[in-house]
Amino acid sequence: MTDTEQEQQLYYYPNKMARIILLSLEDVIGRNGISAVLNFANLHHLIDNYPPNNFDRNFRFNDLGSLHCALDTMYGQRAGRGLATRTGRAYFNHGLREFESVLGISNLTFRLLPLKMKIKVSLEAFADLYNNHTDQVVRLEEHPDMFCWHTERCPVCWGRETDSPCCHLAVGMFQESLFWVSGGKHFMVEEVSCIALGDPTCTIHISRQPLD
Ligand SMILES: [Zn+2]
């Protein structure tokens, strides 16, 4: 094992989160599709055997990176990233149910907040969720017109080298969360830097104003 491989195995997502991502991907590409992707990514052990529904940190960051690499290779970069974005949207919807108690963004107090505050509170809740329950490291920066979501240790592109930002799973998750928070509006969500490109962080710009 090389030094890089050893280092990659130090960071984990909780089983529950990995399970939701796999179920979301299955929603998007079907059971046969996900079996083929897991096979291609050398993750045969996960076929029909998703991680258990608990908070144990057992799902390696590099396995999530391999999964995304397999999507791009099998479907082509453009289609693969479209599938990753759709998986991210499904991931939010599954995740909202599973993490409701941790996130605290479904209760009446939250629902009564004005939209601007709802966006701020939900992004802060996501950042806390990742920083407290996973090995992902996130920093949220607030500007008058947008939020910058900086991921300093990112599982989505872990171990990858690409020629454009590739954390589409995260972009899809934010698109759907803002759609849900705003009761059906669309927002600009764009990944502007990515560790897979050699940048220091995976940074996603999230507009505070809806497009429509
Ligand atoms: Zn990334």
Percent of the chain at pLDDT above 70? 96
Å from CA of 210 to ligand 1 middle: 25
Cα 160 to ligand 1 centre (Å): 9
Q: What is the pLDDT of residue 101?
A: 80
pLDDT in tens, 43-94: 999 999 999 999 999 999 999 999 999 999 999 999 999 999 999 999 999 9
Q: pLDDT grade, residue 2 (50/70/90)?
A: low
Query: Is residue 151 helix, strand or coil?
Result: strand
Q: What mean pLDDT do residues 163-173 have?
A: 97
Averaged confidence pLDDT in the chain: 93
Q: Is pLDDT above 80 for 25?
A: yes
Centroid of ligand 1 to alpha carbon of 49 (angstroms) = 26
For ligand 1, the distance from its centroid to the CA atom of residue 109, given in whole angstroms, is 33
Cα of 68 vs its chain's centroid, Å: 11
**Per-residue model confidence as pLDDT tens digits over 88-146:** 999 999 998 888 888 888 788 888 999 999 999 999 999 999 999 999 999 999 999 99
Q: What per-residue confidence (pLDDT) applies to 108? A: 84
Distance 111 CA to ligand 1 centre (A): 31
